[in-house]
């Protein structure tokens, strides 16, 4: 999940910067440098967001499964 978020966020930043620079100015070299820097920066941020989301989701599922197992064992003992 982390690499997916990193890739999506990086590509989104890259394309957004390229489009903005194409409209704003015609300097292709500067646009590519900014776009690549934003690609890597936002990919790192997206990776950490995805990593945190994966941990939170895994913990939530584990708690839910443990709760359901506890509830089912209580009803079987009655």
Q: Under 8 Å CB-to-CB from 20, ≥6 apart: which residues?
A: none
Average pLDDT of 36-62?
Answer: 94
Residue 4: the pLDDT is 87
Report yes or no: 37 and 73 within 8 Å, Cβ to Cβ.
Answer: no
Predicted structure pTM score: 0.76
Confidence label for 78 from pLDDT (cuts 50, 70 and 90): low
What percent of the chain has pLDDT above 70? 99
């Amino acid at each position: 999940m982390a690499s997916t978020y990193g890739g999506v966020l990086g590509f989104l930043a890259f394309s957004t910067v390229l489009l903005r620079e194409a409209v704003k100015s015609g300097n292709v070299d500067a646009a590519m440098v900014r776009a690549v820097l934003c690609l890597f920066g936002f990919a790192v941020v997206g990776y950490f967001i995805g990593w945190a989301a994966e941990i939170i989701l895994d913990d939530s599922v584990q708690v839910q499964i443990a709760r359901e197992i506890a509830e089912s064992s209580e009803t079987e003992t009655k």
